Structure formats: structure tokens, C-alpha cells
Amino acid sequence: MSRPVAVVTGASGGIGEATARRLAAEGFEVVLGARRLERVQAIAAEIDGRALPLDVTDPASVAAFAAEIPACEVLVNNAGGALGTDPVLGADEDGWRWMYEANVLGVVRVTKALVDRLEASGDGRIVVIGSIAGFEIYPGGGGYIAAKHAVSAVAKTLRLELLGRPIRVTELQPGMVETDFSKVRFGGDEARAAEVYRGMTPLVADDVADVVAFAVTRPAHVDLDQIVLRPRDQVTARDVHRAD
Ligand code: NAP
């Protein structure tokens, strides 16, 4: 019997990779998309999945990606991230533009491209990896916060617009997860990235993958609209318990 197909964007590392591995273990044929093709190819080979090049900020790349996927039941919109910590009044517009493109328009593009196949499956599931930055604010987070607030609005609007059609929409809003997220945000500065998690126990990518797997394996009439998950050591973006 053929396996149901789950598409994961940004599956070359972090939360996307963990989600791809977990969904494969749940019995899905996983299609992994990312810009670093060799990384998704290596992961796909381990989990009997398929790897495709994908840049969610590029409409032509998204169209080519979707053209290779004739059927799918689950779409995990995970690709994204943060760049820098510039204050609003010092906004680097290129960085802010990238964050909007990747975190917001990327989700819209990939979802538009695959929605007919999700619907045809009879039980489509769209997961959006948002963030606590989708409903909280902190100084220096403006560009990322604006983007994650926007994608939260998109997820909620989509849920409303899909009412009556066989597609569920779940927005996951994680707090601190130790991945390459902070390294990317700080331009590869590993010491600065490590400082983010100093003295506290963050979530790991598998913790988020676990929740994605739970959400997409509920019965078809159950929609987990919004899920917030954080480390025990974190209550808000700014209230973090550190042991030192
Ligand atoms: P990560 O380790 O840096 O992974 C980011 C993934 O996104 C990579 O696989 C990357 O692959 C992919 N990606 C980035 N830009 C892309 C593009 N234009 N097209 C396709 N793929 C792209 O960080 P992560 O923590 O796993 O982040 C995954 C998601 O979780 C993001 O949406 C992030 O905002 C969200 N999130 C993270 C945290 C956290 O604390 N880590 C908390 C809340 C939410 P390539 O570079 O190979 O393209």
C-alpha cells in the first residue's frame, strides 16, 4: 500500500529535519524541501523519502517544487527564521524583507501551490510553524516579530476561509528551541548563539516534531487550531530562568 505523503519545507536541519524523521516513523512518505539540496538528499535517503530543491522566497522554485508532488495529505510550513536584532528605528530593510518573504509569503506560496492536492486527499492538514513571536514582543525582535505576527494572522484567516472544506490548519508557536536558528540570526556567531541558551534547558527540535506528529495524527474531525509550547525554563520571550 502506498504511504500518505507529508511535505516538510525547510527540512535540511533543525525542526524541519526532526519533523521529517518523525513523520516518516509515523508511516508517511516525506517530501523534504530546502535550499541545501545535498542535506535533504542525505536525510531522505535515511528515511525512504524524497528530496527536492526549494527556496520558499522564490515563486519559480515553489512552482517547480509543487509540480513534483502529485498528491499530499500533510504540509508542514516550517522554512523560515530570523535575521539580526536591529531595533525598529535601525531596521535593516533587506533583512526585514527576507524575514517577511521567508516566514510569511513563503507559507502563502507553498500553501497555494499544494492546496488542491491537500483537499483532494479528503483530509488535508496544514501545519504552520509560527513562534511565540507571533503574539509577544521584545526589543530588537521587530522584524521577526512582525513576520511571525503576520503569519499567525494568515494561519487564522486560512482556517476561516477553509471552513467547510476537508483541510485542517494548525499553528504551532514554539518558544526557545536549540537549533541553528540563533546561529543564522547572528550571522554565524556561535558564541553569541550559545549565550541565548546559557544556564537554561531549551526545547530540542524533536520536542516540536513530537507535537507536529500528534497534531496531524488526530482524527479528521479534530483541529488543533493553535499550540504554544515552551521550555519549562521560559515563560515569556523575556522571562527565562537561568541556573547561573
Ligand atoms: P534552523 O535550524 O535554522 O532551520 C531553518 C530551516 O529553514 C532550514 O532547514 C533552512 O534550510 C530552511 N530555510 C530557510 N530559508 C529557507 C528558504 N528560503 N527556502 C527553503 N527553506 C528555507 O531553525 P529552526 O529553529 O529549525 O527553524 C524552523 C522554523 O521554526 C522557523 O520558521 C523558525 O522561525 C521557527 N521557530 C524557531 C524557534 C527556535 O527557537 N529555534 C522558535 C520558534 C519558531 P536551507 O538553509 O537548507 O534552505
Q: What is the pLDDT of residues 17-38, one digit of tens each?
A: 999 999 999 999 999 999 999 9
| Assigned domain for 72 exists | yes
Q: How far is the CA of 43 from the centre of ligand 1 (A)?
A: 16
CATH code of residue 193: 3.40.50.720
Mean pLDDT of 42-55: 98
The model's pLDDT over 228-242, given as tens digits with 9 standing for 90+, comes to: 999 999 999 999 999
Q: How far is the CA of 122 from the centre of ligand 1 (A)?
A: 29
pLDDT value, residue 26: 98
Q: Structurally, how many domains does the chain consist of?
A: 1
pTM: 0.98
Structural domain of residue 209, as residue ranges?
5-229
Q: What percent of the chain has pLDDT over 70?
A: 100
Q: How far is the CA of 24 from the centre of ligand 1 (A)?
A: 19
| Assigned domain for 59 exists | yes
pLDDT value, residue 244: 80
184 CB near ligand 1 (under 6 Å): yes
Q: Is residue 189's pLDDT more than 90?
A: yes
Q: How far is the CA of 57 from the centre of ligand 1 (A)?
A: 13
124 CB near ligand 1 (under 6 Å): no
| Assigned domain for 238 exists | no
- Integer Cα distance of 75 and 6 in angstroms: 6
158 CB near ligand 1 (under 6 Å): no
**DSSP letters along the chain, please?**
-PPPEEEEESTTSHHHHHHHHHHHHTTPEEEEEES-HHHHHHHHHHHT-EEEE--TT-HHHHHHHHHT-S--SEEEE----------GGG--HHHHHHHHIIIIIHHHHHHHHHHHHHHHTSSEEEEEE--GGGT---TT-HHHHHHHHHHHHHHHHHHHHTTTSSEEEEEEEE--EESSHHHHHTTT-HHHHHHHTTTS--EEHHHHHHHHHHHHTS-TT----EEEE--TTBSSSS-B----
Q: Is residue 50's pLDDT more than 80?
A: yes
Annotated catalytic residue within 100, 138, 144, 197: 144
Is 144 in the active site? yes
The model's pLDDT over 67-109, given as tens digits with 9 standing for 90+, comes to: 999 999 999 999 999 999 999 999 999 999 999 999 999 999 9
The model's pLDDT over 116-148, given as tens digits with 9 standing for 90+, comes to: 999 999 999 999 999 999 999 999 999 999 999
| Assigned domain for 244 exists | no
- Integer Cα distance of 227 and 97 in angstroms: 27
Q: Whose CA is nearest to atom 33 of ligand 1?
A: 81
